[in-house]
């Protein structure tokens, strides 16, 4: 298994994220934690961020991470 992870984070302004959140209606406020800072903090427990790049013309960020040694 590779120690590397490539993952994309769509922020709250992304159209698909908005679609999903809007479908939650009254529960939408339960997702206030959904942001880039919390995403990075959660993944930093198990991975190191090697590269982080905003994707031009979108509300998405692409990450290259490497699993931390145990």
Q: What percent of the chain has pLDDT over 70?
A: 100
Q: What is the pLDDT of residue 70?
A: 75
Which stretch of 27-31, 50-54, 61-65 has the lowest confidence by average pLDDT?
A: 27-31
Higher model confidence: residue 10 or residue 26? 10
Q: What DSSP line would sit under 4-36, residue for residue?
A: EEEEEEE-TTSHHHHHHHHHTGGGGGGGTT-SH
Q: What is the mean pLDDT of the chain?
A: 93
Q: What is the pLDDT of residue 25?
A: 77
Q: What are 32-44's pLDDT values in tens digits?
A: 889 999 999 999 9
């Amino acid at each position: 298994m590779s120690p590397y992870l490539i993952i994309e984070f769509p922020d709250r302004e992304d159209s698909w994220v908005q679609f999903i959140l809007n479908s939650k209606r009254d529960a939408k406020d339960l997702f206030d934690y959904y942001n880039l800072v919390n995403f990075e903090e959660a993944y930093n427990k198990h991975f190191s961020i090697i590269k982080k790049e905003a994707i031009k013309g979108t509300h998405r960020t692409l990450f290259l991470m490497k699993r931390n040694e145990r």
